[in-house]
Amino acid sequence: MRETALSDAADRLWQALEAELRAVPVSHWGFFFPCLIACWRFSCREHPALFGPLHMEYTARLESPVSTLRVDDNGYCLTHHVGGTPETGVRVIGQGPGFSWFARTFLTSEPPSDAFTAVESIMYAVADALGPEALRSPTLKRISVPRPATAHLEALAAVLRLGPLTITRSAGAV
C-alpha cells in the first residue's frame, strides 16, 4: 500500500515537473529552476495549509538581453532587461510555514540535502535524455520530454510529502 502511495505521488510530481519543463524557457533552467517550481507546486497541493502563494524568479544571462522569468500562481512573465545587468540566479519569495523548510532544503543546505541531490539527478537525467538539439530549442512545448528514473521521482516525492510536516511536529503541533 505504501509503495502504491509513493508511486502515485511520484506520478503527480512528474506531471507537475513535466508541465514546468514545457513552460519554462530552456534558457532559464539554471539552478534546476523548473524542478524547484514543480516542487513548490507539488508541496502546495500536498500541504495547502503550510504553503502560501508561489513567487519565484530566475534571471539568466544566456540570452541577449539578460532576461528574468517571474513565476507566480497567475502564470509566467518574461522580462528582457535593457541597460544594467541584474544579478543572475534564483529568487524565491515564500509564504506560509512551509517556506522555511523549503528554503533550507532546496536553497541553503550545505552540503546539499538529499532532496536537492534528487532534484539535480532528475534534471540532469532529463537534460541528458533530451540531448543538445532539444536543449537548443527555446522551449520544449512540442518536444517529447523523457521521464527520469522512478526511483529519483519517488525519493523526491517522499521528501516533499513528509518534509514540511517535520516543522509542525518539531513545533509541537500534530
pLDDT exceeds 70 at position 86: no
Over the stretch 117-149, which tens digit does the pLDDT of each residue have?
Answer: 999 999 999 999 999 999 999 989 889 999 999
Record the pTM.
0.85
- pLDDT value of position 172: 39
Residues in CB range of 166: below 8 A, 6 or more apart: 101
User: What pLDDT band is residue 168 in, cutting at 50, 70 and 90?
Assistant: very low
Q: Which of 97, 106, 116, 83 is nearest to 44 (CA)?
A: 97
- Cβ 66 vs Cβ 87: under 8 Å: no
Q: Which of 65, 96, 93, 87 is nearest to 78 (CA)?
A: 65
CB-neighbour burial class of residue 149 (10 A; exposed 0-12, middle 13-18, buried 19+): exposed
- pLDDT value of position 8: 93
- pLDDT value of position 157: 94
